[in-house]
A and B are shown apart, each in its own frame.
Chain A
Amino acid sequence: MTGSATPHRMRARSEFSSGEHELKLKPIKGRQLVLGLAAVLALTNSANAAAAETRSFVVNWFYLASYFGEGDCPDGLNPSAAEFYRRDLQRAGHSKEEIDAALKDFPGEGGAPQPWIPLVIVRGNGKDNIYAAPETAPDPRIKLVAGRFGYGFNLDGLGDKSPNSFEDPNTHERGINNQLYRALSCIRGFRGPASSGGPTKSNLDEVHWDKLREEMPAFVISITASNGFSTDGDVSIVIGRALETITRDASGANVQSGMTYTLDPNPRTRNVLTGHLHQGVISAASKEVNLLADNYIVNAFEFEKAHLRLNLKPDGTLSGMIGGYSPWYPLYHGMTVGGYVEEYASSVDLPGVYYALKKLADSDPDPATKENRAISAAYAIDAVPAFVLELGRQQSASLQPSPTDPKGQGQ
């Protein structure tokens, strides 16, 4: 039920003659190239000798870049909701009889009043809402990821010497900073199938993203390669939000490719990164990337010291990763608006998550308290081809597709 295309499916439609590239993910130092922002969507050719090319995509899947495999949670997974509620209510001083009665038909039916709900909401100190005031409860010290492998980027530049860092299981790059993964991925709801070639989606990731993409406008990516995509060269990438929501294809699970999206010009959600195409791998970076999402689920994806790594697959789709330091409190807040529903449905101990994020945050110290306000994170991206147009250009007469390139990306 995932969206990955098999090469066989697209055999009759392959247009990319990118040749046989060795798509080994060699570690690439994040060089920041200064590149002019000319022709981001390349409606005109650049002045370079080799023609510039633009390819655009719409994001199909966007999820925490997590590694699941042997040894990732050596102390086992975090407890289920019934278990940690029981534990917390005991600590809060309730009697065994009270707790048994409250949890008798746990969880009961959502929507109808359940005896355990009013108890767990204030299980910190018996009177304050624990989701708004998680520090009314002691730190339950949830189990963290303690394995060797993880996905993400070397954000602090320390490489091997970076404390609490991971090793990429495929490229073996060391010094991967992804404390968000460390905090969450031993929680049951955040578990996913074993990773082999790259990050895999956890249960909650699938749920959250599938709901999110249905309700918010689409995320789009437009890549302009100054020497075309078959040769190494500079790239400029726009990653932003469209005005339109996604349309699903006949499978229902994936976004339909080939649709047309208009880029939302709102600067709060339109980001430009510069970088390099080298042996088939696109790497780019930017001081910050902000993508507004949807208040109800995830307010925004924000990255400082943003890094982006993308691969164009032979079947025309795009896959890769974006990472950076994300403010940790909004991440907690996004989960906690779900309150006890988030907790009981997916066994997410919210105060536990609060403390874990706070402890693992590794960037942006608050000048007053000296506590870090941002946490290293990485998200995996799967995207399919699309037309992405700037607002106001959509009726341009020069927008004629090339008959030999039906995806019409090159002009």
Chain B
Amino acid sequence: MLTRHITRRSALRGVLGAATVSVGIPLLDCFLDTNGVALADTGAPIPTRFATWFWGCGLNPGRWEPKSTGKFDAFGPELQPLEAYRSKINVYSGLKVYLDGRINTVHFTGEVALLTGTVPHASTVEAPSIDTIIADAIGTRTRFRSLEVSCTGDPLHSQSRRSASAINPGEVSPVALYTRIFGPDFADPNAATFTPDPRIMAKRSALSVVAEERRDFMADLGAADKARMDEYFTSLRDIEQQLDLELQKPAPLEACSVPGKPDATPTGTEISVVQKNHKLFAGLLANALACGQTRVINIAYANANSSLRKAGASQTHHEYTHEEPVDPVLGYQPEMTTFYAAIMGSFADLLTALDSIREGDRTLLDRTLVMASTDSGYAKIHALDNIPLLTAGAAGGRIKTGLHVQAAGDPGTRLGLTVQQAMGLPVSTWGNASMETSKPISEVLA
């Protein structure tokens, strides 16, 4: 087994003895630090990824929330399909949308409010969606700023929007997505020659000035204050290291494996078709993340009006929410509720796709933050309170998982704010009017 004394640099020089060269070096485990988290000699972290996942028509109140808050040991029955990943999921209950007197454009308002922080005016949306905000921050140096898919076959079933008018359409065909990512334009992370970004170089050299001031600044401090200031300068070194990494050729990504091309599949709203396409998309997108093609993915499982239906039945999921009577013994609408089982089963498929890719001694899911949202709480009455929201994945350690947070009556933008902060964005408030919040869900922020 290789010892710690071998660094990547020495491996490079040993082979070529020159400075600027490209060589594919396998990612040996000994190059990871003891936590399997970083690349040893540069100390750089594997990037955190972001995913949004959307389904329509909420869940039955009282049947999804875990009974206890904090670390919980059981989901409500409607989230049971996610049991295998319970320790990697957070459940948020009680969050809602405040309309400020605006019309509740049913299904649409809820979807938009939670993803953009603003309540739409009739059908005019006033702000970009959270995935574009995050992609602008973390997605500017990957091939795709973000990737969107729509599992119902309708490209307009997408919740990602950059501006008031334009939705980022979703890819509807898994074959087409494959070609787009892994087709002729695919660039292997190992092969490219590399040029350092001058902005990063500038930033790095600027920070070194601050670091150099350390001695001067500390010279006339007392011992205890010295200790406090040392902490500051240690933190500064961390940032310098991150910048150093970004000035080097990108590491080969062992986790990246190019998948096989899928067969052509029909698209549509029938539930078994949607499930199948979703599974194909999940696999492709997970590989796209692992191969560094993008850092942000957006999956629209269905539209907010949940057009999902069953073969042979004339009513859609949405219609069931309004027309099916509540069973007096069960306390919910039984036929309608079967759709939830299918929806959450598919969400579990996504988590499986992410969790089955190893990166170091963690998985891709651990390094991702998945935000699952919907458009309503109790869909029967288009309720905008107690809207089910989930996150999955540990965001590279920035999110604590396995928790149930009950934030009754708080605007759902609290989750969006928390997600943005976990992804490292410098925001302290999000949303407008009564959806404006400056209170992240600190219980889950690590």
Contact = CB atoms under 8 A, between A and B. Distances in A.
A214 B99 contact: yes
A188 B314 contact: no
Contact of B381 (A109, A210, A215, A346): A210
A23 interface: no
A193 B322 contact: no
Contact of A1 (B322, B383, B408): B383
A250 B322 contact: no
Contact of A109 (B106, B303, B386, B409): B303
A248 B382 CA distance: 15
Interface stretch (A92-100, A152-160, A199-207, A285-293): A199-207
Contacts of A191: 323, 325
A253 B377 CA distance: 11
Contacts of A215: 101, 103-104
B interface, how many residues as a size bin? Answer: 35 or more
B96 interface: yes
Contacts of B328: 193-194
Contacts of A189: 322-323
Interface in B268-295: 268-269
Interface in A233-265: 245, 248-253
B364 interface: no
Contacts of B408: 250-251
A252 B385 CA distance: 5
B378 interface: yes
Contact of B314 (A80, A211, A248): A80
A335 to B, nearest CB: 14
A103 B314 CA distance: 9
Interface in B83-113: 96, 99, 101, 103-104, 106
Interface in A102-124: 103, 105-110, 112
B103 A206 contact: no
A297 B223 CA distance: 72
Nearest to B96: A252
A346 B322 contact: yes
B315 interface: yes
Interface string A26-47: 0000000000000000000000
B409 A203 contact: no
Interface in A178-221: 188-189, 191-194, 203-204, 206-207, 210-211, 214-215
A283 interface: no
Contacts of A248: 385
Interface in B362-399: 377-378, 380-386
B104 A188 contact: no
Contacts of B188: none
Contacts of B326: 192-193
Contacts of A245: 101
A110 B323 CA distance: 17
Which of B307, B315, B318, B323 has its CB near the most chain A CB atoms (within 10 A)?
A: B323
A251 B322 contact: no
In the A-B complex, the 10 residue pairs with the smallest Cβ-Cβ separation, listed nearest first, are A252-B385, A82-B314, A250-B409, A206-B381, A188-B323, A252-B96, A191-B325, A1-B378, A210-B381, A194-B328
Given A215-B104, A251-B385, 9 more contacts: A81-B314, A109-B157, A188-B325, A189-B323, A191-B325, A251-B409, A252-B384, A345-B322, A347-B323
28 contacts: A1-B61, A1-B381, A1-B383, A103-B314, A107-B319, A108-B307, A109-B154, A112-B154, A112-B156, A203-B322, A203-B380, A206-B380, A206-B381, A207-B322, A207-B380, A207-B381, A211-B382, A214-B99, A214-B101, A215-B101, A215-B104, A250-B409, A252-B377, A252-B385, A253-B385, A296-B103, A346-B323, A347-B319
